[in-house]
Amino acid sequence: MARMRAEEKKPCRILSPTLLFILFILSTLPAFAGDEVRIDTGVLKGVVAGNVASFKGIPYAAPPVGDLRWRSPQSPAPWQGIRAADQPGAMCMQTSDPFAGTAKPPPQSEDCLTLNVWTAASSRSAKLPVMVWIHGGSFHNGTGAAPVYDGSALAGNGVVVVTLNYRLGRFGFFAHPALAHETPQGPVANYGLLDMIAALRWVATNIHAFGGDPANVTIFGESSGAAAVNRLMIAPPAHGLFHRAIQQSGNGREYTPRLRERNPDGLASAEDSGKEFAISMGVSTDDPAALRAIPAERILAAGNRTAIEGGPVIDAVTLTMEVAEAFERGLEAPVPFISGSTSLELPIPPGMLEQTLARAVTRISAEDRQAMTRGYASEAEFKRKFLSDLIFREPARFLAAAHAKNGHPTWLYRFDVLSTSMRAMLQGAPHASELAYIFGTLKTMRWAEDGDDPQRSSEIAARWTGFAERGDPNRAGLSPVWPRYAADKDLILDFTNAGPVVRTTPDVLELQGIAATY
């Protein structure tokens, strides 16, 4: 006992000035200055540029090939040694080029379940907010590695940015009785959504290694990526995997095919369509192995023959109901939520206008069409704005109103920013035009940026990252204060060419006229 007391009284050693200086220098270096991060499957070597480190092409699930095609994503295999993480992984199978000539795209492959991480954390214990991006592309094309989604600038605002690939088209959304019989109690059809959920589980397990906080995850997406956000809000397997959500132009009123039931208008069930497709590929049996033996190139070349093929399905496990129904019943995730759209999502050229409008209103009665038209200043205004309002603007407002009514913090926005050179050509901001502003990737825009664009970009990026940090898009120094949405006040933040402005929803009579027909 005497010896123990003597040892306890030993004085602490004083560190030498040289050692103290070395420790100080090490403490100020980025956590990833050594370029290496250890995650649950092995060590990654990334790239440091300025104060942001990036790690690309990280497998978050096993390759969904061979016997794993049309199955729930499985855990990725660990690796030995150091894995280079300086290049994005392959794009998932698709027919279009999401890079749009801005860069050479990666190759395509069914082996595509990878993600990318950007972080400016100064240490692994930084606990920065995490923003997980879900790309758009009608559930048929796109990649988290597209240049417009480069997370460097956004991460520089004090968040960890994650972008991901998920299975697309028939590879990601496909129903067939053989697959349902194979896993009678498990999820089927929504393999792309299950990929997103697997990526969120990867984030929960590994993001701390990049200085991110697994208890503060925001999902955000645009177009079909936002439609995916809306569905993750109502998907039981996604419960608890995220803590805030932003949907940008994600509809919310659209019809979702069901696994087996036909809808009242006679559309075939998802399984019926799947069987018809399999027969067209020469597979008439209920043999899963025969389905998986169809060459990927033949599946891709077949395209989609009907509107219900190649998208999310109500399968009673991953998705149990429509997005609109879930929000109306208060069954969505009780998390802070931002909803919105651009000001003129679909600026349809005059030569295509009549034909496009005719297709859109085939299921709308003449009486309902007349009621809708009354909300617009003229027939010309109706034709110019109707499709944008029907598909994007009214549903964004509807989701915000329902979520707010259910007692959850909600904010509604409209994006109406256009570069000076485009203001004479377009009468509003088109679909997806906000992306380069949020990510700070203005050089990827289809038109040249002008002097105001960097300021407009910093304004919306600050709102998005502030929301990710605190669940509120307001922070000190930001003006004006963005009020929470409530249907009775109907106040939104309008991102305009002159800066953000608080106002009531523009064109509210137009939107109410549309809502009355649902």
3-class secondary structure for 228-272? HHHHHCCCHHHCCCCCEEEEECCCCCCCCCECCCCCCCCCCCHHH
Of the residues 176, 208, 403, 431, only one is catalytic, namely 431
**Is 309 a known active-site residue?**
no
431 catalytic per annotation: yes
**Are the C-beta atoms of residues 390 and 359 closer than 8 Å to each other?**
no
Beta-carbon contacts of residue 87 (< 8 Å; ≥ 6 apart): 56, 57, 106
Residue 421: count of CB within 10 angstroms of its CB: 11
Indicate if 75 belongs to the active site: no
Beta bridge partners of residue 55, listed in sequence order: 117
Q: Which tokens in the block code for residue 497? A: 């060419």
Which residue's entry shows tokens 């049309």?
70
At a CB cut-off of 8 Å and minimum separation 6, what does 103 contact?
Answer: 147
Among residues 110, 309, 345, 449, the one annotated as catalytic is: 345
Cα angle for residues 92, 45, 48 (degrees, 5° grid): 100
Neighbours of 492 (CB within 10 A): 24
Q: For residues 96 and 141, is the Cβ–Cβ distance under 8 A?
A: yes
How far, in Å, CA of 241 to CA of 216, rounded? 9
**Active-site entry in 223, 249, 339, 343:** 223
Query: Which residue reads 């498990």 in tokens?
Result: 186
Q: Which residues contact 141 (CB under 8 A, 6 or more apart)?
A: 94, 95, 96, 98, 168
CA–CA gap between residue 297 and residue 299 (Å, rounded):
5
DSSP state of 122: S
Q: What is the DSSP string of 383-428?
A: HHHHHHIIIIIHHHHHHHHHHHHTT--EEEEEEE---GGGTTT-SS
From 340, 507, 514, 360, select the one nearest 433 (Cα to Cα). Answer: 340
Tokens matching residue 267: 């559309």
Segments of 16-88 assigned E as strands: 36-39, 42-45, 47-49, 52-59, 82-84
Closest Cα partner for 410 from 486, 324, 299?
486
Cα–chain center distance at 126: 24
CB 106 within 8 A of CB 92: no
10 Å CB burial of residue 452 (0-12, 13-18, 19+) is: middle
Residue 292: C-alpha distances to residues 90, 93, 179, 251, 284 (Å)? 20, 15, 10, 33, 13
Active site residues: 223, 345, 431
